[in-house]
Structure 1
Amino acid sequence: MELAGAGDEGQIWVTAESQTAGKARRGRSWISKPGNLYASLLLIDPAPANLVHGLPLVTSVALHRALCELFPAADKDLKIKWPNDLLLRGKKLSGLLLEASTDAAGRRTVVVGCGVNCVHFPDNPLYPATSLEAEGFALPPVAVFLHFARAMAEMLNIWDRGRGIAKIRQDWLSRAKGVGEKVTARFDDYEISGRFEALDEDGYLILVEDTGQRHHISAADIFFGNSHPFRHKNV
């Protein structure tokens, strides 16, 4: 955001060997030891305000494509977990975080942050994690970054400032875990279980309860089958 405040025109990547204050979704911290990939992309006015919501889908598809290009053998085991985590053999491999703000000139700035567990991974009680190295896919972070940056540029072109969101959503669904299956959406103090039907036009997860009630979920922790960590509560 400091680069945007200084007048940078965007489309610039910043990478780090480690981070002292890495951030994850919902205010959580992100383990940031040397050996993993930590990269952020600054975008200036990437789309009209009502279409920026498509960027998480763009980014997760780009990272999935990049890793499948690097490791074709991982294709069938690499899935996107809504909204934008990547799972390798059912364990969390990467996380993405987007932050948006408006700079002093009135420009909408978006920072797309990405962390990939190349070597290290946290002992996460909420969801099992892994790394590329642990799964037999060792490669330096710089190699992962170069493929990711190229794939991101390609996907941004397809997205076309939001006009290509239908193609992005279709691509995302083809790479996602749990579509058509039972999932549980966990919020701060309750859960909802049902079938993961699809994504709506805003990228929200459509969950359909057994009663037929439909929910369009913008933010939650998603668990598959009966893997959620505490008792289900209907609302």
Structure 2
Amino acid sequence: MTFTLGSKARSAGYGLAAFDQIGSTNAEAMSRARDGERGPVWFVTTEQTAGRGRRQRAWIAPRGNLASSILEVMDVSPGVAATLGFAAGLSLERALQKLSIEANLRRAGAGPLRYALKWPNDVMADGQKLAGILLEAEAVAGNRLAVVVGIGTNVIAAPEGTPTPATSLAALGVQIGAEELFAALSDAWVEFHGIWDNGRGFADIRKLWLERAFGLGERVAIQTGAATVEGTFDTIDESGCLIVRTAEGKRAAVTAGEVYFGAAASVGAA
């Protein structure tokens, strides 16, 4: 198979740049934006050799995994652009749900997969990390903002030694190819990007995200630099911050950090 856009993405005018192998789809997308590309356009590969996750961690996609980045150039502030990551999580979750229904029925002795969205940027499957999302933005000519949303999905293999245990679709018994997943993702992106509507629809995105939130109502510990915030995952607010209800009953807003739930919260807080 080769990469193709879904029918909705083609109708919406999205472009596509597919690579047999590339260092980083995010880096390529931002380089094109600096050179004048205004998108919207997808950059995809099944083999990424120099990808990055949050906090500059390596995100290597061996052949068969899906590394995809969408470039959108828009008239929004960086703070508003940051909320687009929640629409990305919803897009991937929708694509996975759509493609997994029949595959789940063929998982011998196993029930349907449960996908969930872990703040701020992970997609989980059966409690393990299946995908990560990295959003980057730069100002470009015309006082506009080039926003690149990278979505890396473990299709055939998962990295080891990650802070959150990782898995792949293949390990879970779901036989979906990277090309098939990308076509569904590109169509789902059209839907949720439209709902997001340059940030004007984030209230709707927030509601949909919370319905799929991993660890909502559970014990959580967030490492933010040298400090650790502990309590219960209460919600996310109107700007996408994680709201923790502490043992004292106070509500603390967290903008970034390493998040640990349940039993792992004790380890993360140690």
Name the TM tier (shorter chain): over 0.9
Partner SS, residue 269 of structure 2: coil
* TM-score, structure 2 normalization: 0.81
Letter in 1 for 2:117: I
Q: Say whether the 8 Å CA contact 1:14–1:41 is kept in structure 2.
A: yes
Match of 2:165 among 109, 128, 144: 128
* CA-CA distance at 1:125 after TM superposition: 4.3
C-alpha distance in 1 between matches for 2:78 and 2:162: 36
Partner of 1:24: 53
2:120 maps to a residue whose letter is P
Instruction: Give SS of 2:51's match.
Output: coil
Q: Is the 8 A contact 2:233 2:242 kept in 1?
A: yes
In the alignment, the residues of structure 1 paired with residue 208 and residue 259 of structure 2 have an alpha-carbon distance, to the nearest angstrom, of 20
What do residues 99-123 of structure 1 show as CA deviations (whole Å, max 9, x unaligned)?
0001244321001101000001111
Distance 1:222 1:49, change over 3 A: closer
The residue number in structure 2 matching 1:98 is: 135
Residues 38-77 of structure 1 mapped to structure 2, 5 A cutoff: 38-45=67-74, 47-72=76-101, 73=104, 77=114
Bigger CA drift: 5-14 or 33-42? 5-14
**CA distance in structure 2 between the partners assigned to 1:222 and 1:48 by the alignment:** 26
* AA in 2 matched with 1:190: A
Which of 119, 131, 144 is residue 181 of structure 2 equivalent to?
Answer: 144
Q: In 2, distance between residues paired with 1:167 and 1:110?
A: 21
SS at match of 1:43: strand
In the alignment, does 2:175 pair up with 1:155? no
Relative to the length of structure 1, the TM-score reads 0.93
Structure-1 separation of matches of 2:162 and 2:34: 38
Provide Cα deviations, 1:154-198, integer angstroms capped at 9, x if missing partner. 101111111111110000000111111111112333322101110
8 Å CA contact retained: 1:46, 1:52? no
| Per-residue deviation, 1:229 | 6.5
Gaps (5+ residues) in structure 2? 1-29, 105-110
Flag the 1:125–1:24 CA change in 2: closer, same or farther, 3 A.
Answer: closer
Match in the other structure for 2:258: 221
- Mapped to 2, the partners of 1:102 and 1:205 lie a distance apart of 26
Distance between the aligned counterparts of 1:75 and 1:164, measured in 2?
A: 31
RMSD after superposition = 1.7
Count of matched residue pairs: 233
* Aligned-residue offset at 1:76: 5.5
List, as ranges, runs of 4+ consecutive aligned residues in structure 1 with deviation greater than 6 Å: none
The separation in 2 between residues aligned to 1:103 and 1:56, in whole angstroms, is: 20
Q: Which amino acid aligns with 1:32?
A: A
Gaps of 5+ in 1: none
1:102-157 superposed Cα distances (whole Å, 9 cap, x missing partner):
12443210011010000011112421110000001111100000100100011011
Residues 46 and 146 of structure 1: is their aligned pair in 2 closer, same or farther, counting only changes over 3 Å? farther
Q: 1:41 touches 1:113 (CA, 8 Å); kept in 2?
A: yes
Deviation of residue 53 (structure 1)? 2.5
What is the alpha-carbon distance in structure 2 between the residues aligned to residue 69 and residue 225 of structure 1? 29
